[in-house]
Amino acid sequence: MEYFAINEEFLQQVETLQLLLKNNVAGMFGGTHQSKTFGSSCDFADYREYRAGDDITKIDWNAYARFEKLYLKLYLDERQTITRIYIDASRSMNFGKGTKAVKALQLAATFAYISICNMDKVSIYVIQEKGVETLISNMLGKESFYNEILKLNTIDFEGDTFISQSILPTKVGYGDGYSILISDFLTPNDYEAAIDLFASKKRDIMCCQVMSNEELNPAQRGKVLLFDSENHDRTYKKNINRDVLRAYREAIEYITNGMRTLCQSRGGQYMLVTPETNMQELFLAKLPEMEVVK
Amino acid sequence: MYFMFPLGLLGLIGIPVIIIIYIIKNRYTEQTVSSTYIWDVAERFLKNKKPISKLKGLLSLILQLLAVTVISLVIAHPVFVLKNAAKDFCFVLDGSGSMSIKVGDQTRFEKGRNEIKNIINSSSDGSRYTLVYVADSTRVVYEYLENKDKAIELLDDLEISYVQNSVMDSVIFTSDYFQKNTSTEVYLVTDKTHSVENAQLIDVSSDAENYSIVEANFVYTTNKVMITGKSYSYVNDADLTFKVKMDGEEKESTLKIESLGMMVTKDALHVKKETETYFILEVDKPEEGKDFGELEIIIENEDALACDNNYKLYNVASEHNYNAVVVSEKPFFIGAVLQTVSDAKIFVTTPDEFNSSIGGYDLYVFDSCAPSSLPKDGAIWIFNARKNIPNSGFTIQEEISLPEPSEIKYKVSSSSSYKRFTQGTVGSVMHIGGYVKYGLYRTFTTLLTFDGDPVVFTGDTASGNREVVFSFDLHDSDIVMTADWLILCKNFVNYSFPKVIEQSNYEVGESLSVNVLSSFKSIRVEAPSGKVNYLETNTATAEMQLTEVGEYVITVDSGTSVKTFKVWAKLPPAEGRIHDAGELYALHGEKTQAYTDGKFDKLWIIIAILGVVFIVDWIIYCYEQHQLQ
């Protein structure tokens, strides 16, 4: 089943964007992200006295002429990061018209493309039940992007998701870029531990909560017995009236605010996306405003 | 408790039907959603429900069941029994004239009526009410009536009669009710201080003052109208002042009383209590050529009973004004007798001058002549007709000339009409010299005969007017010289010009008497209260009992003319008494306390109100549900 197609026009609009990292970059190889360590970029950082074994090409001879001491000229290092994108592939993400899944994959592809354009590596993982499957590993370069990104269409949205139990055993990296978690987070299962893990590994965190209109404004009225699409053992039996709907709206507010607070407390970012969210507006206006990209 | 219409409970069948429909239709709809997580979280935000709100889910069903139950109960009309609470009540209400004496803002009658209403209202449902009303007659208004509202409504409909009557007349009724049920509560509502046995007296009498004009009359003097009358004060001595109205317009009057054989002018009449005191009031006569129709004498002093403070006198002569035409060559005898025995205006003409088209007279006298046709608008007297007159009721058979004056004799008859015409006659001996033998082809009352032939007879013409026929020439008879001539003519005048109203002053309770002429189409009597009655016209005298104080207006329509007469009905003097001792009002037997079970059936109103509230609530609930959809 094809969920999305590459929109080259849109990708051209976002390719000048750059993911802003807040944590110290601990990556290797040359990238476009400035590390807090000194390296070989063109941006001057500081001087220090020469020590034996230092690269003599870095000696500032003008400073030697003035102070008759050898000083090395230091520059900021620019390093390559790995953007890790985790996609919740539970059944709820593709329930009904499936537009939540489409939006989730569009988000993943766009974040991947922006990272690729920043000379970063991109890995995309699929979370399903209690495991994580690597869908795309260390994708680098646009050609590789165009070759591999359509693998997203192979994701089979089925079953339940245990985000924390899935991610905790995996290698999530350390201080080397963004961990982007795309899910509806409509699960009683724990996901806080996973976010804590990202935080402890000094990963930049971005949580994208994708919710459909049916979830935000339910159409159910009267006496209903609701079955959970992921697990039919989970049911909800109620006479849906005005009071219940009011409580439902409060519950949505509670869930989204809880997510936002959790992310912010871990130094991460949160955004709520619906299938109707305009991607141009999101990436060219909202995310720059949130200082996620520039 | 029992149900007045138990079939209404069949509506309760609707309850199981509703429950079945509710079970069938009101099942949970199964749906799959992406996640039930939000719904589970929402549970935390649902406010803690009170125990009663747990029924909210069943609210619709509960309301429907309640509505069906309520409607069924309302239709079934439950009646609750209250042990030994109901009684039989028997009220005797005095509606005589004295009950119209004022007690504060209301009359004694209204006060008594309110007392009865209070008793009815405070009695238990299921009680039975009987009302005996003593007014112009004593009658049972209702008996054993259970409906309180109806009992009060009928009580409200009663109107006071000013007739003199006594509640003692009701004993025969109340005794009967008491004998049937010796637990009957008998209440005697009156202003007379009766002593009672097995009954309760509700005394509505009160202290007050009352003056009245007992009677009055008037005579003409040289240039005055002199009113004589008697006045009365029921409680205390009083100085009364009067005013007089002539045809509704107040006239200056002079009060005179007789003192030591002299007439003395006074400003006020001193009336000793319970003593009839004579008075004379003088007012100026109307202008020359005019007459008045009515005089009203009014006591100016205020008292508790206003209806006996005035008195009206009517000038009957002005009401009974008739015109007569005598068609004769020799009208002397007839003109003289008419002037003597009647107040009619008399016109005389000769047979040649008389045209049968002439009309407008109340009496036409044809003496020794025969008109070509009889007038239709008045009475007819015919003397010595020697030609046939169409529609006269007789034909000429033979002219008989007697050799010597011969006596005519009264016919022997016991009929009422004969008696009426011969009333007062003394049996004078009358002679005639000749007569015309008539053959009668209509019914007449023969008064005098000669040799079996009718010579004086009366009857009605074809047009219904009264007819008197003499078959001989007055000039050829000595009848005009006899005493019976005047008496007979007086009777004929009364027959021809009957006084519609013989008497213009009555006492309430008496019967108004109206003489009915054959030409009367209708007799309308309007009472002082405005009530209108129509009297019978197919009788010689129509009567109606007068039950109100004041002026009755009688309007007589005879087809060609409408005449109005007035009579005054005064309050019986006995009814003007402020305090009046009564007799012993005794119901024989031993009073018991065996009351019947009371019934309370007003609950259905409460149930109905609850039903409406529930149904409204139900509609609102359904509307909310509809909005949620």
pLDDT of residue B197: 92
Does residue A265 share a domain with residue A197?
yes
Does residue A122 share a domain with residue A38?
no
For A30-62, the pLDDT digits (tens) are 455 555 444 555 556 567 778 777 778 878 888
**In this model, does residue B54 exceed pLDDT 80?**
no
Chain A contact probe: residue of B26, B35, B53 with most A CBs at under 10 A: B35
pLDDT of residue B625: 66
Q: Are residues B624 and A188, on separate chains, in Cβ contact within 8 Å?
A: no
Q: Are residues A229 and B37, on separate chains, in Cβ contact within 8 Å?
A: no
Listed in order, strand segments (DSSP E) in B315-393 are: 323-327, 345-349, 363-367, 379-383
Does residue A19 share a domain with residue A42?
no
Beta-ladder partners of B395: B439
Q: Are residues B30 and A96, on separate chains, in Cβ contact within 8 Å?
A: no
Please give the average per-residue pLDDT across A102-113, as a whole number. Answer: 93
Does residue A100 share a domain with residue A66?
no
pLDDT of residue A293: 83
Q: Are residues A95 and B33, on separate chains, in Cβ contact within 8 Å?
A: yes
Does residue A54 share a domain with residue A175?
no
Contact B481, B428 (CB under 8 A): no
- Read off the pTM: 0.49
Chain A contact probe: residue of B22, B23, B26, B34 with most A CBs at under 10 A: B34
Q: Are residues B42 and A224, on separate chains, in Cβ contact within 8 Å?
A: no
CATH class, range B211-318: mainly beta
Question: Closest approach of chain A CAs to the CA of B12, in angstroms?
Answer: 28
Give the span between the Cα atoms of B626 and B629, in whole angstroms. 5
Domain map (residue ranges) of chain B:
2-77+602-628, 83-207+578-600, 211-318, 323-496, 505-574
Please give the average per-residue pLDDT across B55-67, as a whole number. Answer: 75
Give the span between the Cα atoms of B479 and A40, in whole angstroms. 176
Note whether residue A89 is domain-resident.
yes
Please give the average per-residue pLDDT across B564-573, as a whole number. Answer: 90
Within an 8 Å CB–CB cutoff, is residue B39 touching chain A?
A: yes
Q: In chain B, which residues have their Cβ closer than 8 Å to the Cβ of A223?
A: 26-29
Among A106-115, B138-147, B193-202, B554-563, the least confident range:
B554-563
Place of tokens 């009557």: B165
Residue in chain B closest to A216 (alpha carbons) equals: B38
Q: Which helix (H) or strand (E) holds B155?
A: helix B148-157
* Position A270 confidence tier, pLDDT thresholds 50, 70, 90: very high
Within an 8 Å CB–CB cutoff, is residue A216 touching chain B?
A: no
For B495-505, the pLDDT digits (tens) are 887 778 878 89
> Which of the pair, B519 or B403, is modelled with greater confidence?
B403
Contact B482, B430 (CB under 8 A): yes
> Which of the pair, B235 or B615, is modelled with greater confidence?
B235
Note whether residue A196 is domain-resident.
yes
The answer for residues whose C-beta is within 8 angstroms of residue B264's C-beta and 6 or more apart is B256, B257, B258
CATH H-level superfamily of B505-574: Immunoglobulins (2.60.40.10)
Cα torsion B573, B579, B582, B587: sign: positive
Note whether residue A73 is domain-resident.
yes
pLDDT of residue A78: 53
Does residue A145 share a domain with residue A86?
yes
- Coil vs helix vs strand at B211: strand
Of A88, A128, A80, give the one whose Cα is nearest residue A105. A88
Does residue A222 share a domain with residue A114?
yes
Within an 8 Å CB–CB cutoff, is residue A99 touching chain B?
A: no
Give the span between the Cα atoms of B62 and B53, in whole angstroms. 13
For B180, counting Cβ atoms within 10 Å of its Cβ (0-12 exposed, 13-18 middle, 19+ buried), the class is exposed
Does residue A135 share a domain with residue A75?
no
Does residue A201 share a domain with residue A67?
no
Does residue A217 share a domain with residue A242?
yes
Q: Are residues B624 and A186, on separate chains, in Cβ contact within 8 Å?
A: no
Distance of alpha carbon A262 from its chain centroid, rounded? 15
> How many CB pairs lie under 8 A apart between chains A and B?
111
Is domain B323-496 classified as CATH 3.40.50.880?
A: yes
Among A15-24, A279-288, B328-337, B362-371, the least confident range:
A15-24
Please give the average per-residue pLDDT across B180-185, as a whole number. Answer: 90
Beta-ladder partners of B298: B243, B310
Tokens of B215: 């009677």
Tokens of A292: 């996620």
Within an 8 Å CB–CB cutoff, is residue A221 touching chain B?
A: yes
Cα torsion B399, B404, B410, B412: sign: negative
Contact B79, B601 (CB under 8 A): yes
Contact A293, A111 (CB under 8 A): no
Strands B511-515 and B541-545, bridge-based pairing: antiparallel
- Percent of chain B exceeding pLDDT 90 equals 38
Provide the CATH number for the domain around residue A249. 3.40.50.410
Does residue A124 share a domain with residue A254?
yes
Q: In chain B, which residues have their Cβ closer than 8 Å to the Cβ of A251?
A: 38-39, 41-42, 44-45
Same fold for the pair B83-207+578-600 and B211-318:
no
Concatenating the DSSP letter of every residue in chain A gives -------HHHHHHHTT--BPP-SPP---SEEEEEEEEEEEEEEEEEEEE--TTS-GGGB-HHHHHHHSS-EEEEEEEEE--EEEEEEE--GGGG-TT-HHHHHHHHHHHHHHHHHHHTT-EEEEEEEEBTEEEEEEEEE-SHHHHHHHGGGGGG----S-B-HHHHHTTS---SSSSEEEEEE----SS--HHHHHHHHHTT-EEEEEEE--HHHHS----EEEEEEESS-TT-EEEEEE-HHHHHHHHHHHHHHHHHHHHHHHHTT-EEEEE-TT--HHHIIIIIHHHTTSB-
Architecture of the domain made up of B83-207+578-600: 3-Layer(aba) Sandwich (3.40)
Q: Are residues B36 and A95, on separate chains, in Cβ contact within 8 Å?
A: no
Q: Are residues B38 and A228, on separate chains, in Cβ contact within 8 Å?
A: no
Note whether residue A294 is domain-resident.
no
pLDDT of residue B551: 93
Q: In chain B, which residues have their Cβ closer than 8 Å to the Cβ of A235?
A: 36
- Percent of chain B exceeding pLDDT 70 equals 95
**In this model, does residue B355 exceed pLDDT 50?**
yes
Residue-range definition of the domain harbouring residue A172: 8-23+81-289
**In this model, does residue B409 exceed pLDDT 70?**
yes
Q: Are residues B35 and A236, on separate chains, in Cβ contact within 8 Å?
A: no
Cα torsion B321, B322, B323, B327: sign: negative
Of A223, A241, A242, the CB nearest to B28: A223
Does residue A104 share a domain with residue A138?
yes
Within an 8 Å CB–CB cutoff, is residue A191 touching chain B?
A: no
Q: Are residues A250 and B45, on separate chains, in Cβ contact within 8 Å?
A: yes
- Domain count along chain A: 2
**In this model, does residue A4 exceed pLDDT 80?**
no
Question: Closest approach of chain B CAs to the CA of A189, in angstroms?
Answer: 10
Question: In the predicted model, what is the mean pLDDT of chain B?
Answer: 87
Within an 8 Å CB–CB cutoff, is residue A100 touching chain B?
A: yes
For A197-254, the pLDDT digits (tens) are 998 988 889 999 999 988 999 988 888 999 998 888 889 988 888 889 999 999 999 9
Of B26, B38, B628, the CB nearest to A248: B38
